[in-house]
Chain A
């Protein structure tokens, strides 16, 4: 008899991802879905997806889903969680959505200690709209709106979301992870699981920042993109747990 050693998580639908080749959204979706399966919370979870490349995430996660206006997912999640406090509510947001247009919403959701989990995908660029500069674009990085590279006098400097949010008392768990190799993918999954456990335990706001690639807009092959992430993003955005409640350490 055949033994199943690998299958699609139940928390993912069988709809094929629309993401570009080499994009790490697929990996991150899968990690979130595996955590939902392993915690046995699929029946009780509501997700909120952003505007950006993952705008269609409602087609992929096999749970009740909301599509939110650009940057507003934390406010939408607040509305859900405050009406249904026993549900597990997560937002899935990119860097343009969360760190640019949605800064007020994420900061105040964290400050209120809103009991939600945010998966923040940082790939240092706007993907869907055509490779423009993101708030997380690295100094010197070329984008379609910084053709000569991001120059600080003209375009300012990146927003370090995990560092910023970890200063807020309402934020219970903040971690930055990466998905550029198997070892880091496993660490990322542990962090995502912790972020859901923090919510389940009612400890406050939890966010996992996942460093991610955009081969298409970076103009690199998928393999080169993973290398670029490791060599350029991680030094600027150090990995690690920025905040963790004693209860889940």
Chain B
């Protein structure tokens, strides 16, 4: 193992390569462009393919082709690009194709800006494209966790034949942190994909990659099948981090960069005698609802911290289910919450002063 200083965007690329991904299709957009820069150099070194597509719409459809042919494949973009990909994501889900889609989120709506944000939470976890579906959504909070979760993303995608999304923000993409990397790049074992349509090659019956179910009964069957799969994923693959939660009177929660800030506030609050704890969802879908329900048994208050006007907040409130008040502190449009402001909010809430 070697410890190296690595940029978040580059870690996404290196993590993908170490997870056995050898195909990348994408279109430039700030603040994730270091990822295509990195893979344009790195993919040929490992015998892979890097292709700059003409649009995000094309990128995601190239992913559809490569995934349907049976390969580990990914694309990445930032918020406006993800809006363009939603059509393709819906088709990938319908055809049950595994792939990894990265969103290094930036300020919106519209062209917004290139500063860090988390305001595509709804788009990521509530559907985004048309139709009845979910994506597995992973939210790393450090550069090391980006590397680790890229492997998880590809493995879960293949295991459940589903697209997996990894969401970060401009800070996670742009920042450099130390990461531990194995010195050798080894190709992980990837299970065979007998459903892939990569040419008959001696097989008798053609494979068809398709999301068209013209008979409504058949389409309903597909949806039932997808949701049965989602039940298994929710039962087996939910991930989260708890921090000083056991005796917490106020539970801070957030994901990604916001969770890092919240975690530091937990320590600062404890230093001032406030029993604070943290729940950090690592899978945004499936959402770790039970952890909140459990915490609501002993905690008095919740505070959700986001780089948005409050999106994950709705899932936290559903999970807490009215048992305790759930407060919100967010910055939006590319602004980042400051630890001292969050701490002030915590103090205000615990003094009974906040709404």
User: Measuring CB to CB, which residues of chain A are less than 8 angstroms from any residue of chain B?
Assistant: 42-46, 48, 55-56, 58, 61-69, 72, 75-84, 87, 104-105, 107-108
Contacts and interface: CB of A to CB of B under 8 A. Distances in A.
B57 A64 contact: no
Contact of B65 (A62, A79, A107): A79
Contact of B206 (A44, A63, A79): A63
Interface stretch (B68-76, B228-236, B292-300): B68-76
A78 B51 contact: yes
B181 interface: no
Nearest to B65: A79
A80 B212 contact: no
A105 B61 contact: yes
A87 B65 contact: no
Contact of A104 (B55, B62, B73, B95): B55
B329 to A, nearest CB: 40
Contact of A82 (B23, B61, B197): B23
Given A66-B209, A69-B87, A72-B57, A43 B64 contact: no
A104 B25 contact: no
B208 A64 contact: yes
Contacts of B63: 79
Contact of A79 (B55, B69, B87, B95): B69
Contacts of B40: none
Interface in B65-87: 65-71, 73, 87
Given A82-B62, A108-B58, 16 more contacts: A45-B199, A48-B65, A55-B212, A64-B206, A65-B207, A67-B95, A72-B61, A79-B61, A79-B66, A79-B73, A82-B23, A83-B49, A83-B69, A83-B70, A105-B58, A108-B53
Residue among B62, B64, B197, B202 having the largest count of chain A Cβ atoms under 10 Å: B62
A235 B186 CA distance: 60
Residue among B69, B207, B210 having the largest count of chain A Cβ atoms under 10 Å: B69
Nearest to A69: B91
8 contacts: A46-B199, A64-B198, A64-B207, A66-B209, A67-B212, A83-B71, A84-B198, A84-B199
B330 interface: no
B201 interface: yes
Contact of B49 (A46, A58, A63, A82): A82
Contacts of A78: 25, 51, 53, 58, 62, 65
Interface residues of B, number: 39
A77 B65 contact: yes
Nearest to B67: A79
A72 B87 CA distance: 10
A42 B31 CA distance: 44
A63 B201 CA distance: 10
Interface in B177-194: none
A76 B69 CA distance: 10
A45 B346 CA distance: 62
B271 interface: no
B22 to A, nearest CB: 8
B69 A108 contact: no
B65 A75 contact: yes
B65 A66 contact: yes
A48 B66 CA distance: 12
B54 interface: yes
B321 interface: no
A83 B208 contact: no
Contacts of B201: 43-44
Nearest to B207: A64
B128 to A, nearest CB: 15
Contacts of A108: 53-54, 58
A172 B38 CA distance: 32
B88 interface: yes
Contacts of A107: 54
A45 B203 CA distance: 12
B208 A75 contact: no
B161 to A, nearest CB: 15
A64 B61 contact: no
A33 to B, nearest CB: 13
Contacts of A67: 95, 208-212
A81 B197 CA distance: 12
B351 interface: no
A80 B61 contact: no
Residue among A65, A72, A79 having the largest count of chain B Cβ atoms under 10 Å: A79
Contacts of A81: 65
Contact of A62 (B51, B66, B206, B210): B206
Contacts of B68: 66, 76, 79-80
A56 B51 CA distance: 29
B111 interface: no
B200 interface: yes
Closest 6 pairs between A and B when the two form their complex, measured CB to CB: A79-B65, A75-B61, A79-B62, A64-B197, A108-B54, A79-B66
B64 A76 contact: yes
Given A48-B65, A63-B206, A104 B197 contact: no
Residue among B49, B54, B67 having the largest count of chain A Cβ atoms under 10 Å: B54
Contacts of B51: 78, 82
Nearest to B90: A69
A61 B23 CA distance: 28
